[in-house]
Amino acid sequence: MSTLITGSTGLVGSALKNFFPNAICVSSKDANLTDPESTFRLIQAYKPDIVIHLAANVGGLFKNMNDNVDMFTKNIYINTNIVDACVKNQVTKFIGCLSTCIFPAKIEYPIHENVLHNGEPHESNFGYAYAKRMLEVHCRVVSEQYGYKYKCVIPTNIYGPHDNFSLTDGHVIPALIHKAYIAKRDGTNFSVAGSGLPERQFIYSADLAHLIYKLNHHMYDWVSPMTIAEQTEHSIYDVAKIIGEYFGVWERTEFNTNLPDGQHKKPADNERLIRYINDFKFTPLEVGLRDTMDWFVKNYDKARK
């Protein structure tokens, strides 16, 4: 059975290749997924049995807030084109990757998959969230109309090696790692955006890749969409402290409360995942962060930033 992975050079794709050593791994160099013809030709050329779709236009809080139009349109094009190309080429299995930030902003916690469309997402990632929601809708209607297995996973905040460590566009963990690296190098303060009070569920990229691998082998069994999360929440303060202590800059850390926090809390229910895979051991945050920081320091010159 042949597997094609889009976004294979990114955070999750790089980890997934360890579990799918024979997969067809493609990136933006192989096709422009915002273009329908380019996307169709890609799928037509390989005719895979299953596509694991990770490619997306992604970024942290400030990229989402500043580039709402771009985040919406590019992701709509990418997701629509890849699903359409797969259907036209009779690819019968598909796993798309969403994000917990697409859930409604005003909701009871913990968040369950069934409430995905029960209200607007948080304004800080409005465009991105709606584009990702439409991927879930597209997969659902394809499954219903054609009998294919098109499913979606909803991971919480992913981190790990090969992330985008941009100071402006990166997600919270890679951006903090880069900031701490610079603070150590230059002898400056370690500045953390916001109060540090918001809490998040984080998942190490290798754990997410391993779980996708498990789900791929049981496509007929699990219910879509499925939240991929560890139950434990960690505050941004606690994450910053681990990172700051690793680089030896925690004593000169400052929290910039003039910058927004985003949602303060949005715990996701992982009951559906645990019901299906109940023996999985998640990587502890301290271990995953250390491995990520070790990788970043070693690969600083070539890391995305």
Each residue's pLDDT tens digit, 203-212 = 999 999 999 9
Q: How far apart are CA 297 and CA 275, in angstroms?
A: 38
Confidence of residue 59 (pLDDT cuts 50, 70, 90): low
Q: pLDDT tens across 226-271, in order?
A: 999 988 999 999 999 999 999 999 999 999 988 877 777 788 999 9
Q: pLDDT tens across 79-129, in order?
A: 999 999 999 999 999 999 999 889 998 888 899 999 999 999 988 788 999
CATH no. of 3-298: 3.40.50.720
62 pLDDT above the threshold of 60 = no
In three state form, how does the secondary structure of 174-242 look? Answer: HHHHHHHHHHHHHCCCEEEECCCCCEECEEEHHHHHHHHHHHHCCCCCCCCCEEECCCCCEEHHHHHHH
Q: pLDDT tens across 15-46, in order?
A: 999 999 999 999 989 999 999 999 999 999 99
Annotated active-site positions, please? 128
Reading the block at residue 188, the tokens are 């400056």
Give the angle subtended at the CA of 70 by the CAs of 68 and 73, to the nearest 5°: 105
Through-space distance between the first and last CA atoms of the chain, rounded to whole angstroms: 36
pTM equals: 0.92
Please tell me the number of Cα atoms within 13 Å of 57 on its side-chain side.
23
Instruction: List, in sequence order, the alpha helices (H) in the chain.
Output: 11-16, 36-46, 61-66, 68-88, 126-146, 172-186, 205-216, 236-247, 271-276, 285-298
Q: How far apart are CA 109 and CA 107, in angstroms?
A: 6
Q: Centre a 10 Å sphere on the Cβ of residue 64 and count the other Cβ atoms it contains.
A: 23
74, 89, 100, 204 from 289: Cα distances, Å: 30, 40, 20, 8
Q: How far apart are CA 273 and CA 12, in angstroms?
A: 18
93, β-bridge pairs: 50, 149
